[in-house]
Chains A and B, each alone.
Chain A
Amino acid sequence: GESVGLHLPTLSVQEGDNSIINCAYSNSASDYFIWYKQESGKGPQFIIDIRSNMDKRQGQRVTVLLNKTVKHLSLQIAATQPGDSAVYFCAEPKGPNAGNNRKLIWGLGTSLAVNP
């Protein structure tokens, strides 16, 4: 079946260190992937996305890497700050690659704790 999952349920890092959050997916036909951040008591917030024809995409302090060979996705956060403490989800669309009837399938999430 199709699934999006995360290797590590929790991750604890020191402030200033780099963080790496991993995600495994099973649908090799997915055309793109999204990372969301969810802080306590808030709704998910879009961080960055990547198309399947790319293997790397950079944003502000974040980099997403896509390895289609092993169906693995990672989110790297540089110089992690206390404000980065949240649950991070990877997600992928399910359905035809065009049209309205697509929906996001979300993984379980990784909780990132940043220690001062």
Chain B
Amino acid sequence: EAGVAQSPRYKIIEKRQSVAFWCNPISGHATLYWYQQILGQGPKLLIQFQNNGVVDDSQLPKDRFSAERLKGVDSTLKIQPAKLEDSAVYLCASSNKPSGLTTGDTQYFGPGTRLTVL
């Protein structure tokens, strides 16, 4: 079974520029998550999709971050304009169950995109 794919793996941009990340979840997984992981910290949920609908985007800075999952499969996360504090690893995860988050509802993570904002 192929894992969660993300691209690019690394991105360096200057502040105020725009950037987009792409995620392809495990085939058949209805739930998709985007996390931000700052160095030395645990991941922080940015947005959760159930198919193509948003379940939770309460921690997404909506003035600069946007995400979509138009066909309920692939997803893109965009930052416009980027700030220095956006430097982090952006992780995509997927799950084959609605996020009741009970035992066994494992989230499978991609390798992440490391973003550096200069």
Contacts and interface: CB of A to CB of B under 8 A. Distances in A.
B14 interface: no
A100 to B, nearest CB: 5
B111 to A, nearest CB: 6
Nearest to B110: A43
A70 interface: no
Contact of B4 (A43, A50, A98): A43
B98 A100 contact: yes
B109 A109 contact: no
A109 B40 contact: yes
B99 A100 contact: yes
Contacts of A91: 42
A80 B16 CA distance: 45
Given A43-B112, A44-B109, A93 B103 contact: no
Nearest to B9: A41
B36 to A, nearest CB: 11
B48 A103 contact: yes
Interface string B48-92: 101000011000000000000000000000000000000000010
Contacts of A1: none
Contacts of A101: 55-56, 99
A93 B111 CA distance: 22
Nearest to B97: A100
B104 to A, nearest CB: 8
Interface string B9-36: 0000000000000000000000000000
Interface of A: 4, 31-32, 41-46, 49-51, 89, 91, 93, 95, 98-104, 106-109
Given A43-B93, A107-B42, 6 more contacts: A43-B112, A44-B43, A49-B104, A106-B42, A106-B44, A109-B41
